[in-house]
Chains A and B, each alone.
Chain A
Amino acid sequence: MKIREIVFRKIKNGKTGGAAAFFFAVLLSFTVFAGTMLYSSLSKGADNLKARLGADIAVVPKGQESNYQGIILNGEPIECSFERKYESTIRSLEGVEKVTPVIYLASLNASCCSVPIQIIGYDPETDFVTTPWISDECVSKYKEGSLIVGSNIAIDEGNTLTFFGRVYEVSARLNKTGTGMDKSVYVSFDVIKQLIKDGNEKGIKFGDESSLSGEDITEKYVSAFLVSVKEGYSVDKVAGLIMRDVPGGIVQSKSLYNTVTTGIKLISDTVKMLIISVFAAITFVTAILHIYRVNNRKKEWAVYRMMGGTGTWIRSYILTESMTLSLLGGIVGIFFAALFYFPFSDLISEQIGLPFFVPGILQIIGMVVLSLVITALSAVIPGIIAGEIASGTECYVLMREGEN
């Protein structure tokens, strides 16, 4: 009979005395898997954010800078009014490549949701932020006057959404990004005019100016301008020029991205420290536990020795048993971490408030393997120490120990 067969049989019969070591292995693999999953989800969310930002600079009304970040990161609905006449001013500045106006509307009574959602209006003639994503993912389905929805927006059964009593066809759904953009609905300026008109008829006012109509908002007022900077020009310098000529606030994509990565770094540092501390503490505790359980089975080692088992055989046996206990604990720990992490990922994302995207299957498999390797490694040194103790004592002494 091979060593691993004896080990499995002993574990199955519960004769190893390794329940505590098993429990600590569960704890370690749970921590490693959940920690690495959290870090990967946040990194993936940040990558998606970077890819999706599109513009280098957002020019928003003064005092609305943090609200703009809220739209991008968490999809928090805001409305703001900025005079559209500044579009030509920004366009004429040195280093500016493209400018496009956008309108952010908070819908109070979408048929899909009990909570307000963000409606993002774009100008199809100048847009360079939203349209590339539409053309990349759903150009064949897109129809004029229809809606494009983020992945978190629920639509009605007939593939429609109702805003202020009017039914709109949904032509496409964007892929999940893990950012606030998932909670947004994208519409062209024509649809925005219609939405505002319908809202006004129902007594809902938009913008800072309470009397603004749909025509006013798209022609005279918008929420923000998104600016792309020519290659070779400094974004900071162009932002300075905009601040000089336009009475608005500036949000740079890089500072938005930096805000996110700073948050992620803080969490990833905490996760790393947690994994290292748990690994060190559990390796130490496991070593004590393995030595204890090996000492309790001295007569068993003596019997193996009498049956012809060498010291090397006993060392291999104890190392195999320790690592098998850890690996089994590792599998159980990963199972529990996955059982909680995947179903609750939306809630975790909501609570953290940073872009969050669960990684793909290959990356998850990689993290499972990593967690199992770390858990198994935590048993190597304790297993070797325990094996040395059991194999280093004479058979006669082992057998007679405890007798008077």
Chain B
Amino acid sequence: MKNKVIAVVTVVLGLTAAIGPRTIFPVCSAAEMKMKCYYTAQWELVVGIIAALVGVGLILINDKKIRTVLSVIEIALGALIVLIPTAIVGVCSSPMMHCVSVTRPALIVTGVLEIVTAAVSLYFAVEDKLGKGSIKVAQLEN
């Protein structure tokens, strides 16, 4: 059950990264010329949709090995969500622009949450694969 809940969260975060830069926290309007943030929104759409699809895979697939691989992919996609507006493509250079003060921070938060959620999913997948281990007899102090 907890695996499914975590997988649903990764899907929601992936969709947020995909459509957020066009709806909830939009990049600057590209009426006259296409700025850097326009391309960031394009890349985020692709990466976000892939992240959501990988999340759907996590919901549907129960095999531990595949879940481990999907979680690792999801972590990498979360890192990409952060890196696209900060390093790979970037946003407008003026700190006064909307894409700098709203879109980029929102994508950073979404990406970091995606990484954390995928890391938890990976932890559960690896733990399930290895088993919980034998219970050691506790020796109490005193």
Residues on A facing B (Cβ under 8 Å): 1-3, 6, 13, 112-115, 117, 151-155, 183, 304, 307-310, 312-313, 339-340, 343-344, 346-347, 350
B104 and A343 within 8 A (CB): yes
In-complex Cβ contact of B109 among A152, A309, A343 (8 A): A343
Q: Is B105 in the interface zone, CB < 8 Å from A?
A: yes
Docked complex Cα distance between A6 and B138 (Å): 8
B92 and A339 within 8 A (CB): no
Docked complex Cα distance between A344 and B112 (Å): 14
Docked complex Cα distance between A307 and B32 (Å): 77
CB distance from B78 to the nearest CB of A (A): 13
Docked complex Cα distance between A128 and B111 (Å): 47
A308 and B100 within 8 A (CB): no
A6 to chain B: closest residue by CB: B138
Q: Is B94 in the interface zone, CB < 8 Å from A?
A: yes
B92 and A154 within 8 A (CB): yes
A-B pairs, 9 with minimum CB distance: A343-B105, A154-B93, A154-B94, A346-B101, A152-B95, A347-B101, A343-B108, A344-B105, A1-B138
* B100 contacts across to A, CB distance below 8 A: 346
Docked complex Cα distance between A154 and B28 (Å): 16
Greatest chain B CB density within 10 A among A307, A309, A313, A346 is at A346
A1 and B141 within 8 A (CB): yes
* B105 contacts across to A, CB distance below 8 A: 343-344, 346-347
* B93 contacts across to A, CB distance below 8 A: 112, 154-155
A351 to chain B: closest residue by CB: B101
Q: Digit string of B76-113 for contact with A (CB within 8 Å is 1, else 0)?
A: 00000000000000001111110011101110110011
B101 and A350 within 8 A (CB): yes
* A6 contacts across to B, CB distance below 8 A: 138
Q: Is B130 in the interface zone, CB < 8 Å from A?
A: no
B97 and A309 within 8 A (CB): no
Docked complex Cα distance between A343 and B102 (Å): 9
A339 and B94 within 8 A (CB): no
CB distance from A187 to the nearest CB of B (A): 18
* A2 contacts across to B, CB distance below 8 A: 141
Docked complex Cα distance between A17 and B28 (Å): 48
Q: Is the interface of A mostly helix, strand, loop or mixed?
A: loop
Docked complex Cα distance between A399 and B66 (Å): 45
In-complex Cβ contact of A339 among B95, B104, B112, B132 (8 A): B112
Q: Is B140 in the interface zone, CB < 8 Å from A?
A: yes
* A1 contacts across to B, CB distance below 8 A: 138-141
Docked complex Cα distance between A350 and B97 (Å): 11
- Asked whether A152 and B94 contact (CB < 8 A) given A339-B109, A350-B101, the answer is yes
B140 and A308 within 8 A (CB): yes
Q: Is B134 in the interface zone, CB < 8 Å from A?
A: no
* A309 contacts across to B, CB distance below 8 A: 140, 142
* B112 contacts across to A, CB distance below 8 A: 339
Docked complex Cα distance between A113 and B98 (Å): 11
In-complex Cβ contact of A113 among B96, B101, B102, B138 (8 A): B96
Q: Digit string of B47-75 for contact with A (CB within 8 Å is 1, else 0)?
A: 00000000000000000000000000000
* A13 contacts across to B, CB distance below 8 A: 132
Docked complex Cα distance between A152 and B101 (Å): 11
CB distance from B119 to the nearest CB of A (A): 13
CB distance from A115 to the nearest CB of B (A): 6
- Asked whether A114 and B28 contact (CB < 8 A) given A153-B94, A154-B95, A343-B104, the answer is yes
A340 to chain B: closest residue by CB: B109
* A312 contacts across to B, CB distance below 8 A: 142
Docked complex Cα distance between A13 and B95 (Å): 46
* B109 contacts across to A, CB distance below 8 A: 339-340, 343-344
Docked complex Cα distance between A29 and B106 (Å): 22
CB distance from A357 to the nearest CB of B (A): 13
- Asked whether A307 and B96 contact (CB < 8 A) given A340-B109, A343-B108, A347-B102, the answer is no
